Structure 1
Amino acid sequence: MTQLTPSKKIAVIGAGFSGLSAAAYLAKAGCDVSVYEKNAAIGGRARQLKTDNGYTFDMGPSWYWMPDVFEKFFADMGSTPADFYKLTELDPQYDIIFGKDDVLEVPATLSGLSALFEEIETGSAQKLDKFLKEAAFKYNIGINKLVYKPGLSITEFADIELIKGVFKLQVFTSLSAHVKKHFKNSKLIALMEFPALFLGAMAQDTPALYSLMNYAGLALGTWYPQGGFAQIITAMKTVAERQGVKFHTDAAITGFDINGKKIDRIYTKNSVHDVDAVIGSADHHHIDQELLGPEYATYTPEYWKKRVMAPSALIFYLGINKKLKRLKHHNLFFDEDLQVHAVEIYKDPKWPSKPLFYVCCTSKTDNDAAPEGHENVFILMPLAVDITETNELREKYFHIIMDRLEAYCGEDIRNSIDYKKSYCIDDFKGDYNSFGGNAYGLANTLTQTAILKPSMRNRKVENIFFAGHLTVPGPGVPPAIISGNVAANQLLRYLKR
């Protein structure tokens, strides 16, 4: 990026991954950047919870995939991830639990994975090799080309390599159909379709392009940053501050002054600031509908109501005063019907009848996550957005989950809990102005891909650009980092006109 002279004042709304990324890139280009964060701590959904009795919980993201995306960000800032945090590769990567004595342990090596597939389904090792080679092509095109497109015009995709590879990218085939073309065993299908959960949609509604996520997880590995995801947030803040970025916490944006199609002033609850441009990395719907309001919003309320959102979640943060022998770092409980739970999230929104859930036990990898001899347990149950929730419902599902977790572990857990906190739809709305209380953002369905997502640009206000999981490229930590980069580049192009 070339330096801008004179320095332009840029306000970044929100200090999650996309906001931190955008701020760092803009400051590196010579902008005078200030980040305004609604909450008392930066990090957005990747904030950390520390308890008085010695537990440390990552409140949101817990899967470190696509390490190359993190490496690129830090390389662009003149450093490496290793300058700030240590990565541990998980082996096994995770367990998929189909029943008490029916567990699929996913190895970290491709040779181990091939052996596992062949043991379950004869001939599937060769099919896995073919599947992952196709997925590697999609990953290389998708991560190096597609996700860096701002999604503002169809002409962005007039790229000879994209055109030549359009059929191999399988944009118009579903992930579910693509997986079932290669594998017949239900456990292997579940293993290969599960990354769609990160994309916020059912596998049959997710383009097969996203088998690139299988490559990301199975070939590039599953990692853990020692100290938790807050270490990445701290590292990104550090490199941003080195570029001159200033951070303001407890500084929710309350409004704008707009003149001549430009925002020239922003208001927080305590202060007023002149600006040349704005990056909106907080909830896109909130900025569009509430801060810009009907006069300047790009979209109508009806447009937003028709968006297919990724799920919300019911989360429990539990401190356990003993070790739990059967749990791994990542544990996926697929001991009920995934299809039934998915329908109750996307098609017939309701509290699930027989939910699937995920358990993360970071103390298996990180001794600092819990006191010695204790466990740090994070439980997440995917949930439909914008349904009514109560403390009674939280408790009801806590016991549903604990019944199955205790049966699997073969021991009492509830009586060993010495810290417990729940987090659900109303908390997502309150803490992040999250549309519908979503936990992940916008679902990556075919009709919500690339130029069909909410735009990075506003049609009526020319100097605000959007980043984050309600615009391109989509939900997840690596996409959020990329989104900040892309939004920053679009803003810089605007400033240089």
Structure 2
Amino acid sequence: MASGHIVVIGAGVAGLAAAALLGRKGYRVTLCEKNEEIGGRAGCLEERGFRFDTGPSWYLMPEAYERFFAHFGTTPEREYGLTRLDPAYRVFQGERRVEVRTGDAEELFESIEPGSGARLRAHLDSASEAYCIALETFLYTTFEHPARLLTPQVRARLPHLASLLARPLAARTSQVASDPLLRHILEYPAMFLSSRPERIPALYHLMSHTDLRQGVWYPTGGFFAIVESIARLAEESGVHLRLGCEVTGIEVRGGRARGVHTGGGFVPADAVVSAADLHHTETALLPADCRTYPPRRWRRREPGPSVVLALLGVRGRLPGLSHHNLLFSPDWRPDFDAVFSGTGPSRSLYVCKPSVTDPHVAPEGYENLFVLVPAPARADLGRGSAYGEANGEVEAIADRAIEQVARAAGERDLANRIVVRRTVGPGDFARRYHAWSAGAIGPSHTLRQSAFLRGSQASRKVAGLFYAGATTLPGVGVPMCLISAENLLHWL
């Protein structure tokens, strides 16, 4: 068994998972969380019988969850239960409405654009292969020994993989279908990667394997049920959780991390794992001469978008909406340009209605809605009502989104039926999570911010200091956070 005391900063998914794994290995672990509740972005708000997830809502890459829970002798099914969604999601664009079912995408494409079904089959064959290679070779690794990554499978596919890295996702999807709605089905996962189709490598077409072939699932109780399971495993592994305990600095002596400073005093440690935002860790918690990344590095990086969230409790049913709903604007690319240039929010929205699958997230006769509007990564757009006083601009964005959802769902009186309304704005991500540039997801997965180019989970300046979470390797999303936590074990 391992020994020594480790302090973990941040009780989001990565911090909880890292603490649980380290505790199970035998380390004494103290987990410091600045807020009064766990979960980070994957949080939960409960009001008047409604249970709202405040962050992730798409359950993809089931292998990552299975592998994590296997470390503790359990499974996702035992922990929270899973429901496979059918349809996987519903798509709206103008007057068009399409249901996307896992395994039936080729028939759907062919019915809308003859000839595209066969092209999609080839696209998904490539996506499935890339997904398997990534899972087996490039995700559960520290990139310390690059030569080991050149497995026979990778060497055999190097020319193809190189071609996927050399052009953007949008260029590849244009070869599959010309119909805008069909292309958007293949391109919307760019938002999962905190970017846009013109900026991420075509290699990320592997994401289409997850929703169009593998399946989309729902964890009973919502994503916070996953957080609660990981927290319980951490507690059972002996982790000491300190809520309302903000770390204000990392103590470095003799070139090594010796502990952390908090509002409640100094906490000594043999090693420190920061699962907080990497930019915040580097620029606010470390002395200048102990930072791995110089200021110019951040000027060249892309923080990814922020979002405005509207968490709505609605009286009556909304049959026009499925569990997952994508509302595509006809001005798809101008909308992305506005978000990433900082000039305005997107008119393409995402709406989750978990109450259609899970009756326990809303009172009987009511619906639970989670509305997400991609927005510029600007803290000055303000905060929402969920954690304090709402900003007028955030509320105006939410108002417009509710009107758009009402039209798509065929429920013109939707606004009048809202009995609970809470909003989250870019300023909340900056204030609650110290998110770099108020980003909601994490740094964009551009070519220069992917794989080993994304950085390292070990500080190059401070021994015994490690990083975890969406702002470091391997990337954004709950599965990546679980993998990030596991990869720490290789460093330690």
Give TM-score scaled by structure 1 length.
0.93
Deviations 1:211-249, CA, capped at 9 Å, x for gaps: 111001111111111111111111112222232222111
Question: What displacement does 1:156 show?
Answer: 5.5
Question: What displacement does 1:292 show?
Answer: 0.5
One-letter amino acid of the counterpart of residue 47, structure 1: G
What is the alpha-carbon distance in structure 1 between the residues aligned to residue 208 and residue 66 of structure 2? Answer: 20
One-letter amino acid of the counterpart of residue 28, structure 1: R
Partner of 2:79: 84
What is the alpha-carbon distance in structure 2 between the residues aligned to residue 240 and residue 457 of structure 1? Answer: 22
Q: Please say if 1:368 is aligned against 2:372.
A: no
**What SS does the corresponding residue of 1:131 show, helix, strand or coil?**
helix
Cα pair 1:18 1:281 within 8 Å, conserved:
yes
What is the alpha-carbon distance in structure 1 between the residues aligned to residue 398 and residue 43 of structure 2? Answer: 23
Question: What displacement does 1:188 show?
Answer: 1.3
**What SS does the corresponding residue of 1:358 show, helix, strand or coil?**
strand
Deviations 1:113-161, CA, capped at 9 Å, x for gaps: 2221110111222222221111111111101210122245654544443
One-letter amino acid of the counterpart of residue 395, structure 2: E
**What SS does the corresponding residue of 2:310 show, helix, strand or coil?**
strand
Partner of 1:44: 40
Cα pair 1:16 1:45 within 8 Å, conserved:
yes
Partner of 2:388: none
Q: Please say if 1:351 is aligned against 2:347.
A: no
Partner of 1:495: none
Partner of 1:445: 446
One-letter amino acid of the counterpart of residue 14, structure 1: G
What is the alpha-carbon distance in structure 1 between the residues aligned to residue 321 and residue 453 of structure 2? Answer: 40
Q: Please say if 1:406 is aligned against 2:398.
A: no
Q: Which moved more, 1:329-338 or 1:293-302?
A: 293-302
Q: Please say if 1:30 is aligned against 2:26.
A: yes
The 1:409–1:216 alpha-carbon spacing in structure 2 relative to 1, beyond 3 Å, is closer
What is the alpha-carbon distance in structure 2 between the residues aligned to residue 171 and residue 285 of structure 1? Answer: 26
Question: What displacement does 1:393 show?
Answer: 1.1
Partner of 1:66: 61
One-letter amino acid of the counterpart of residue 353, structure 2: C
What is the alpha-carbon distance in structure 2 between the residues aligned to residue 246 and residue 387 of structure 1? Answer: 32
Question: What displacement does 1:459 show?
Answer: 2.1
Q: Which moved more, 1:284-293 or 1:240-249?
A: 240-249
What is the alpha-carbon distance in structure 2 between the residues aligned to residue 107 and residue 329 of structure 1? Answer: 12
What is the alpha-carbon distance in structure 2 between the residues aligned to residue 247 and residue 387 of structure 1? Answer: 29
Partner of 2:333: 339
In structure 2, which of residues 257, 268, 271 is the aligned counterpart of residue 274 of structure 1? 268
The correspondence of residues 188-227 of structure 1 with structure 2, limited to 5 A, is: 188-227=182-221
Q: Please say if 1:115 is aligned against 2:107.
A: yes
Partner of 1:12: 8
**What SS does the corresponding residue of 1:332 show, helix, strand or coil?**
strand
In structure 2, which of residues 121, 133, 150 is the aligned counterpart of residue 129 of structure 1? 121
In structure 1, which of residues 356, 368, 378 is the aligned counterpart of residue 370 of structure 2? 378
The correspondence of residues 141-220 of structure 1 with structure 2, limited to 5 A, is: 141-152=133-144, 154-155=146-147, 157-169=149-161, 170-220=164-214
Question: What displacement does 1:310 show?
Answer: 1.6
Partner of 1:283: 277
Partner of 1:388: 380
Deviations 1:237-279, CA, capped at 9 Å, x for gaps: 2222232222111111112321111111212211322100011
What is the alpha-carbon distance in structure 2 between the residues aligned to residue 235 and residue 334 of structure 1? Answer: 34
**What SS does the corresponding residue of 1:182 show, helix, strand or coil?**
coil
Question: What displacement does 1:387 show?
Answer: 5.4
One-letter amino acid of the counterpart of residue 136, structure 1: S
What is the alpha-carbon distance in structure 2 between the residues aligned to residue 388 and residue 226 of structure 1? Answer: 36
Partner of 1:435: 436
Q: Please say if 1:482 is aligned against 2:475.
A: no
Partner of 2:91: 96
Cα pair 1:66 1:217 within 8 Å, conserved:
no
**What SS does the corresponding residue of 2:172 show, helix, strand or coil?**
helix
What is the alpha-carbon distance in structure 1 between the residues aligned to residue 350 and residue 284 of structure 2? Answer: 34
What is the alpha-carbon distance in structure 2 between the residues aligned to residue 299 and residue 160 of structure 1? Answer: 34
Deviations 1:352-387, CA, capped at 9 Å, x for gaps: 3x6211111111111111111111111110111125
Cα pair 1:149 1:156 within 8 Å, conserved:
no
Partner of 2:317: 323
Question: What displacement does 1:440 show?
Answer: 0.4
Cα pair 1:154 1:451 within 8 Å, conserved:
no
Q: Which moved more, 1:160-169 or 1:114-123?
A: 160-169
Alignment length (residue pairs): 481
What is the alpha-carbon distance in structure 2 between the residues aligned to residue 321 and residue 282 of structure 1? Answer: 38
Q: Which moved more, 1:56-65 or 1:162-171?
A: 162-171
One-letter amino acid of the counterpart of residue 401, structure 1: A
What is the alpha-carbon distance in structure 1 between the residues aligned to residue 145 and residue 296 of structure 2? Answer: 23
One-letter amino acid of the counterpart of residue 445, structure 2: N
**What SS does the corresponding residue of 2:312 show, helix, strand or coil?**
strand
One-letter amino acid of the counterpart of residue 319, structure 2: K
Partner of 2:289: 295
Q: Which moved more, 1:471-480 or 1:453-462?
A: 453-462
RMSD, matched Cα = 1.6
Q: Note the residue ranges of structure 2 that are not aligned, 5 or more in a row.
A: 383-390
The correspondence of residues 439-478 of structure 1 with structure 2, limited to 5 A, is: 439-478=440-479
**What SS does the corresponding residue of 1:273 show, helix, strand or coil?**
strand
One-letter amino acid of the counterpart of residue 189, structure 2: P
